[in-house]
Chain A
Amino acid sequence: GAGVSQSPSNKVTEKGKDVELRCDPISGHTALYWYRQSLGQGLEFLIYFQGNSAPDKSGLPSDRFSAERTGGSVSTLTIQRTQQEDSAVYLCASSLLAGPVPGELFFGEGSRLTVL
């Protein structure tokens, strides 16, 4: 596609349920990022994928959070046993360049998660 695509755009779930958020990056972009945007908190880095390398999971807030990237393209962020503090907008971004010089990140419109 022309841009980074995320789904669902909105998700309302009950506390304790699992959710999956999907990201389809720009074709050919080897780097993929997940960020979390909470009100007044800015963007919080969650996880980074680059090609076939092991992902950088240093930003995941707890073991309830996990992500995978299949075939070097589509990524899924999974949140297990959701808590109210997980409510936020989850942003995905992809980049053509990765390595010594950070490349421009292209962001999707985000998935807004509300945990009741």
Chain B
Amino acid sequence: AQSVTQPDIHITVSEGASLELRCNYSYGATPYLFWYVQSPGQGLQLLLKYFSGDTLVQGIKGFEAEFKRSQSSFNLRKPSVHWSDAAEYFCAVGVGGANNLFFGTGTRLTVIP
């Protein structure tokens, strides 16, 4: 069965520092991978997605993620974090022909001045 693991429940970084949020998935074939962000009191917004091709994908708000098949990972990165990036981040995996996305439990990001 498909599953997504986000091992970090809460991460705190200083503004301007680099960020990496971890995501590992379990699925036999190449999955479709997504990162969503949920700001306080708002719905989830798509940051980026990977379907095929270049394993380094660029998203909105300066985020990028790299698909590493050998590690079953799809980690999210940002070189310099802004205070407005404080939010909850969800990794999700989709399977071809299936009807839903499987979400991780999320990582809450706190940004300190």
Q: Which residue numbers of A lie inside 8 Å of B, CB to CB?
A: 3-4, 33, 35, 40-43, 45, 48, 50, 56, 59, 91, 93, 98-102, 104-110
Contacts and interface: CB of A to CB of B under 8 A. Distances in A.
B28 interface: no
Contact of A104 (B43, B46, B106): B46
Contact of A50 (B9, B95, B99, B104): B99
A3 B32 CA distance: 24
B99 A43 contact: no
Contact of B99 (A42, A91, A98, A107): A98
B32 A102 contact: yes
B113 interface: no
Interface residues of B, number: 27
Contacts of A110: 43
B84 interface: no
B90 A4 contact: no
Interface string B1-20: 00000000100000000000
B101 A105 contact: yes
B99 A48 contact: yes
B104 A101 contact: no
B102 interface: yes
19 contacts: A3-B43, A40-B9, A42-B103, A43-B44, A43-B103, A48-B99, A56-B99, A56-B100, A91-B43, A93-B44, A102-B32, A102-B95, A102-B96, A102-B98, A102-B101, A105-B101, A108-B43, A109-B41, A110-B43
Contacts of A4: 43
A104 B103 CA distance: 14
A109 B98 CA distance: 24
Contacts of B98: 102
A105 B100 CA distance: 10
Contacts of A40: 9, 105
A17 B65 CA distance: 44
B31 to A, nearest CB: 10
